[in-house]
Amino acid sequence: MSTLARSHDPSLRSLVEGKEIIVCTGSGGVGKTTTAAVLALEGARLGRKTCVVTIDPAKRLADALGLEGLTNTPSKINGPWPGELWALMLDTKSTFDSLVVKHATDEEQARGILENRFYRNISGALSGTQEYMAMEKLYELHEENDFDLIVVDTPPTRNALDFLEAPRRLTRFLDHRLYRILMAPTRGLVKAMNVAAQVFLRTVSKVVGGEVVEDAIAFFQAFDGMEAGFKDRAQRVLELLSHEDTAFVLVTAPRHDVVAEARFFAEKLREASIPIQALIVNRVHPHFSDASPEATRERARTYAGTDLGNLYENLADFLLVASREEDNLRGLTEIVKPAPVIRVPFLHSDVHDIEGLGVISRHLFG
């Protein structure tokens, strides 16, 4: 637990100062990874021991953070700040592997699973696995290390709350009828049940081939006895995510389609009773004038064919873009109220070093 007093000041700085976990969420390509890194850096500047968990950073940012290749354990980034800054890049597969090892009753059970082809397929590719493992890693870091603040970047999901539902997904998977059918032979269910199962399996085998089904059965048999541990763990991950020391920060861009996705996220989070504590809008166009785009366009028409006409035309274009962006954001800022809305303008270049993070930091924290 942080010793800092919990503040109700709805500012971004107070989140970085007082929370233990910040989850950056939003659709892909809106600068989530960079934002997560900036928040973590600010934490270190405020004297906290901070760790940022990134999913898929652009290569140059990864280099800047000292993340060469997948490490899956935090590495320390040295710099002139009073706190500490650590970073790690999520390795989905090895996180899943260590989870299996943790829950297995013995080495033999662990090996049986890790070597199973079906497991190797799902640990890398089951939809939601990456999300699940991001949350698992977050939980592990929170439980086993002494970070004051962990900032986690969520994977770009097609479905808004995959990352929240991911822990539940595996347990649902284990509750699934097909799973129970597959497990029936070892659980000594009545023979009649088994006949139906066999028909079902034969059909599935016909489609995907017998080997896949055999691998799957072998996996579930090896997994037997571990579900309870997994379910329990998933439950605790969910509790951590809805704890009051955890804050969700929604990251978006002002573009129409991206805002629509962000609204969807925001509404889903609200349904799950998880408040958004800050909205960060990246890549906002500047607001060059208070004149209306229409009046400016009219001036452009009046002076069409002259350089002045083109200058007006250009101004009208950007006034239109800016007013459109504000229109796009209006509904979203309403939904996230009273969370602060922080706008970060278009920058001259993409961020790939600590200095660049500092530039964004000035926009976020003033």
Tell me which residues touch other proteins (CB under 8 A). 27-30, 56, 58-59, 117-118, 121-122, 124-127, 156, 158, 173, 176-179, 200, 203-213, 215-216, 253, 255-258, 286, 288-289, 291, 302-303, 306-315, 317-321, 324, 327, 346, 348-350
State how far the Cα of 42 lies from the Cα of 64, in Å rounded to an integer.
Answer: 16
Q: How far is the CB of 197 from other proteins (least distance, A)?
A: 12
CB of 227 closer than 8 Å to CB of 174: yes
CA 361, CA 366: separation in Å to the nearest integer? Answer: 7
User: By C-beta, is 318 or 365 nearer to other proteins?
Assistant: 318
Count the Cβ atoms, other than its own, within 10 Å of residue 364: 18
* C-alpha closest to that of 243 among 75, 23, 3, 25: 23
Nearest to 351 by CA among 125, 11, 33, 42: 33
Nearer to other proteins, 8 or 177 (CB): 177
Whole-angstrom Cα distance, residue 261 to residue 245?
26
Q: In terms of CB distance, is 27 or 35 closer to other proteins? A: 27
Q: Find, among 105, 119, 121, 52, the residue nearest to 83 by Cα.
A: 52
CB of 30 to other proteins, least distance (A): 8
Answer for the pair 343, 360: CB distance below 8 angstroms, yes or no: no
Q: Which is nearer to other proteins, 13 or 117 (CB)?
A: 117
For residue 191, the minimal CB distance to other proteins (Å) is 21
Shortest Cβ distance from residue 90 to other proteins (Å)?
14
CB of 286 to other proteins, least distance (A): 6
Residue 200 or 365: which CB sits closer to other proteins?
A: 200
Q: How far is the CB of 125 from other proteins (least distance, A)?
A: 4
What is the smallest separation between the CB atom of 347 and other proteins, expressed in angstroms? 10
| Least gap, CB of 303 to other proteins (angstroms) | 5
- β-bridge mates for residue 85, sequence order: 50, 77
Nearest to other proteins of 44, 113 (CB atom): 113
State how far the alpha carbon of 136 is from the alpha carbons of 114, 133, 201, 265, 288, in Å. 18, 5, 32, 21, 45
Pick the closer one to other proteins by CB: 8 or 187. 187
Instruction: Determine the 3-state secondary structure of 21 from DSSP.
Output: strand
d(CA 90, CA 101): 18
The answer to whether residues 344 and 360 touch, using CB atoms and an 8 Å cutoff, is yes
**Separation between Cα atoms, residue 56 and residue 37, nearest integer Å:** 12
Confirm if 34 and 65 have CB atoms less than 8 A apart.
Answer: no
Q: Which is nearer to other proteins, 189 or 347 (CB)?
A: 347
Angle at 175 between CA 179 and CA 275, to 5 degrees: 140
